[in-house]
Structure formats: structure tokens, C-alpha cells
């Protein structure tokens, strides 16, 4: 018999096997479809929400602080350059220079020099009314709301070590914290006026707690003469939330997979017992045990593949709905999840088919045909 005829014969046997008992086939396909849909929804949510959680925690500001080892010593002049060369793409590093100046009435006020657009990005909760002063406009300042009330006017003068700087409020800042009592200048203007360079660098690193610790070690190598430490509350909270989310999703996925595997096992076992006489006749007519098992095996894989394709579409839709109504974000289908779901569905089907295949292998045609 030619290969094409053998292939056609096998296809006919497979089709008859699938349509022999449509109710059983539908039940098996439904179980594998549910498995794939649940796996797709959970994996899509995990990959999307995990990234979203990291982005949300980035909105809380810097998670690594770089300062001089001694308060009496400034950071090296090239500290910011070395930090930025060490950071991965997408991470932010913002320098801060601090000085205490005097207002025209003799009151003290904290003045901060920084890269204002970068500071705005790393502190996304800042509420700014007005336009940030550009670095090319040294006479403009971002003024905290409490500092603005103390100064009493949009135009004011500050004195540091006898050097007077006339300023104008370009925008006001509201945070509800110490920033409200400060005056922010472009870093270049601050250095030109006071001669004070950055003493602190805030770093917004991305990734889990292990990634943050690895980044800190690289920064310590790049800046051995600086003190580098994480913002523990932020890093630990992020690690805890992400870890619990990961554990919950994978536990749910494991439970669903085991439940589906038991359902498929019961269905396949019933199918073998129901069709044992057919398999016995095939063996009696000369079909090898391997070929009979291959038909049963191929039937299971076919249903697992169909369930994975349909389940991927359904699960992606479920993940999108959950993201929209529970997390208020759009979650798009992820192509890599399709392969993972296919592998999972095939694995579940193979594990569930192992016992029925072993039962089928041990069947003796003569005994079955005699009704034993």
C-alpha cells in the first residue's frame, strides 16, 4: 500500500474515531477548550498586569538613592554621567543640588537645582500649575505653594553667600510634602549662582527586587565613593505585590490544568472501554498495537490542538474584559501566549491519555471478542 493510501486510510480512521461518539468527543473538546481559555486569560493577564504593576510603582518615584558617603563631601563631578552610563535603557537618573538661601526679609528657604523636566517625569504625582522654566532661562523658578505664600510675590530675590539672584515664578508646585516649601531652579542656573553641585541622584530603576539589587551592585562598582541604597518601602511593596500576583495566577493555572486533566482522563478512559471491541477487531485483522495506539494518540492531540486554537481566542477576549473592567486598562492578545497554551494543552492531553493508552496496549483481542 502506497504512503498516500496509508495516509488516507489513517485520516478516515481518525475521522471515524472522532465522530463515533459525538457527545464524548464534544465533552473532551470542551474540557480542553476550557483549559486553553483559562490558561490564555491567566497568562495574558499575568504578562500584562505584571508589566502594568511595574509601571504603576514607577509612578511612585525613585527606588534608588545615590548620595555622597559623607555629608561634608559632594558627589564626584562626573557622578551623574557614570550613573547614566550604568543604567539600562528606560531608567531615569535625576540630580539634585541643595542650598539654603535668604529671602529679602531675612527668612531662610531651601533652593533645589535639578533638571526640571526629568524631575517632573520621575515624580509624576507632582501637580504643576504653569510652565516649567527651561534651563536657558535662569531667572525663572518652580516654586512650591507654601514657599510662594511666604515670598508673597511672583518676582522675588534670593541671596546665597552674598550673591543675589532675581527670580520670577514660572510655575507653582503642589505635592502635600516638603517640596511645597522649596524653590526649584534649573541645575545650570543653580550651579552658576551658588557653585553647589548635585549631592543626591535619584534613580528610577525598573524590574523586580532582584533586578534592583543587581542594579545597585553595578552602581556601587561605577561609584565606589558614593552611598547607594534602595528605597526599601517602595522596593519591598513592589516585590510583595508582584510576587503575590504571580503566585495567585500560577496557582489558579495549575489547579485548572489538573482539573481539566482529570476530566479528560475520565473521558478518554470511558472512550477506550466503550470502543474496546473495535480496537480488538483492528488488532485481530493485523493492526499492530502501536498503530491502534497511534490512532487514539492522534485523536487526543487533534482535540488538544483544536481546543488550544479556540481557547486562545476566547481567553484573549476574557483577559481583555477583565483588564477593562477590573484594572481599567486595555490588554491586547499576546502572540507568545498562543505557543505556551498549545504546549500546555498538549501536555495535559498527553498526561490524561497515558493511562487509557496503557489500558489499550494490554487488551487481548481474543478475550475481548469473546466478551470477557
pLDDT at residue 82 greater than cutoff 80: yes
- Are residues 288 and 162 part of one domain? no
**pLDDT above 50 (res 369):** yes
Tell me, yes or no, whether 107 and 188 share the same domain: yes
Residue 186: in which H helix or E strand, if any? Answer: strand 182-186
Among 372, 325, 323, which residue's Cα sits nearest to residue 52?
323
- Residue 264: name the closest of 351, 358, 359, 362 by CA: 351
Instruction: Clarify whether residues 211 and 80 are in a common domain.
Output: yes
Cβ atoms of 312 and 288 within 8 Å: the answer is: no
Residue 42: per-residue pLDDT: 83
pLDDT class of 363 with cuts at 50, 70, 90: low
Q: How confident is the model at residue 26 (pLDDT cuts 50, 70, 90)?
A: confident
Same domain for 206 and 322? no
**Looking at the structure, do residues 35 and 74 belong to the same domain, yes or no?**
no
For 202, the domain range is 64-230
Does 218 lie in the same domain as 79?
Answer: yes
282 with 149, same domain?
no
Helix, strand, coil in percent for the chain, rounding step 5: 60, 15, 20
* Residue 144 shares a structural domain with residue 253: no
State how many domains the chain has. Answer: 2
What is the torsional sign of CA 354, 358, 360, 361?
positive
Each residue of 247-291: pLDDT tens digit?
A: 777 787 778 777 777 777 777 677 666 666 666 666 666 555 566
In this prediction, residues 304-333 reach a mean pLDDT of: 84
> What is the per-residue pLDDT across 320-352, written as a single tens digit (0 to 9) for each?
888 787 766 778 888 888 998 898 888 887 877
Q: Which residue has the cell 504546549?
A: 343
Answer with the residue of higher pLDDT: 230 or 288.
Answer: 230
Per residue in 128-174, pLDDT (tens digit) is: 998 887 766 678 899 999 999 999 889 999 999 999 999 999 999 99
Q: Look at residue 110 and give its three-state secondary structure.
A: strand
**Could you tell me if 283 and 351 are in contact, meaning their C-beta atoms sit under 8 angstroms apart?**
no
In order of 10, 85, 190, 204, 206, the CA distances from 91 in angstroms are 57, 11, 25, 6, 7
For the ranges 2-16, 23-37, 55-69, 253-267, which has the lowest average pLDDT? 2-16
Domain boundary among 164, 199, 230: 230
Residue 70 DSSP class = S
Model confidence at 178, pLDDT cuts 50, 70, 90, reads confident
- Kindly report which listed range (79-88, 96-105, 180-189, 262-271) carries the lowest average pLDDT score: 262-271
Q: What is the mean pLDDT of the chain?
A: 78
Identify whether residues 346 and 255 lie together within a single domain: yes
Residue 340 has which C-alpha cell? 505556551
Domain final residue pick, 173, 207, 230: 230
> Based on the domain organization, do 198 and 282 belong to the same domain?
no
Least reliable range by pLDDT among 70-79, 190-199, 305-314: 70-79
Q: 3-state DSSP call for residue 339?
A: helix
What spatial distance separates the first Cα and last Cα of the chain, rounded to whole Å? 34
Q: Which three cell numbers stand for residue 303?
A: 482535540
Same domain, 73 and 46: no
How far apart (Å, rounded) are the C-alpha atoms in residues 249 and 54?
A: 17
Query: What pLDDT, on a 0 to 100 scale, did the predictor assign at position 339?
Result: 92
On whether the CB atoms of residues 264 and 38 are closer than 8 A, the answer is no
Is residue 216 domain-shared with residue 121, that is, in the same domain? yes
Task: Select from 197, 230, 263 the last residue of a domain.
Answer: 230
Amino acid at each position: 500500500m502506497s504512503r498516500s493510501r496509508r495516509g488516507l486510510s489513517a485520516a478516515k480512521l481518525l475521522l471515524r474515531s472522532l465522530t463515533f461518539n459525538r457527545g464524548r468527543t464534544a465533552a473532551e473538546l470542551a474540557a480542553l477548550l476550557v483549559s486553553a481559555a483559562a490558561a490564555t486569560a491567566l497568562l495574558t493577564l499575568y504578562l500584562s498586569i505584571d508589566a502594568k504593576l511595574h509601571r504603576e510603582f514607577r509612578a511612585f518615584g525613585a527606588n534608588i538613592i545615590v548620595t555622597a558617603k559623607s555629608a561634608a563631601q559632594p558627589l564626584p563631578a562626573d557622578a551623574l554621567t557614570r550613573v547614566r552610563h550604568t543604567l539600562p535603557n528606560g531608567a531615569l537618573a535625576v540630580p539634585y543640588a541643595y542650598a539654603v538661601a535668604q529671602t529679602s526679609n531675612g527668612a531662610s528657604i531651601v533652593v533645589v537645582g535639578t533638571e526640571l523636566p526629568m524631575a517632573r517625569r520621575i515624580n509624576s504625582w507632582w501637580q504643576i500649575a504653569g510652565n516649567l522654566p527651561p534651563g536657558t532661562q535662569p531667572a525663572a523658578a518652580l516654586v512650591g505653594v507654601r514657599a510662594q505664600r511666604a515670598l508673597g510675590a511672583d518676582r522675588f530675590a534670593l541671596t546665597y553667600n552674598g550673591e543675589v539672584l532675581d527670580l520670577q515664578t514660572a510655575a507653582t508646585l503642589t505635592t502635600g510634602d516638603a517640596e511645597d516649601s522649596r524653590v526649584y531652579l534649573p541645575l545650570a542656573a543653580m550651579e552658576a549662582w551658588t557653585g553647589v553641585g548635585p549631592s543626591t541622584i535619584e534613580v528610577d530603576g525598573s524590574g523586580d527586587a532582584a533586578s534592583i539589587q543587581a542594579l545597585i551592585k553595578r552602581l556601587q562598582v561605577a561609584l565606589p565613593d558614593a552611598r547607594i541604597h534602595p528605597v526599601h518601602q517602595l522596593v519591598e511593596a513592589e516585590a510583595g505585590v508582584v510576587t503575590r500576583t504571580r503566585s495567585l495566577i500560577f496557582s489558579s493555572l495549575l489547579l485548572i490544568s489538573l482539573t481539566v486533566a482529570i476530566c479528560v482522563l475520565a473521558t478518554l478512559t470511558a472512550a477506550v472501554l466503550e470502543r474496546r471491541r473495535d480496537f480488538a477487531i483492528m488488532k485481530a485483522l493485523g493492526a499492530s498495537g502501536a498503530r491502534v495506539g497511534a490512532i487514539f494518540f492522534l485523536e487526543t492531540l487533534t482535540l488538544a490542538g483544536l481546543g488550544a486554537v479556540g481557547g486562545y481566542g476566547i481567553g484573549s477576549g476574557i483577559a481583555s474584559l477583565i483588564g477593562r473592567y477590573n484594572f481599567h486598562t486595555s490588554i491586547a492578545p499576546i502572540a507568545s501566549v498562543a505557543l505556551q497554551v498549545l504546549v500546555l494543552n498538549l501536555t495535559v492531553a498527553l498526561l490524561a491519555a497515558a493511562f487509557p493508552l496503557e489500558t489499550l496496549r494490554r487488551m487481548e483481542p481474543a478475550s475481548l471478542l469473546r466478551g470477557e
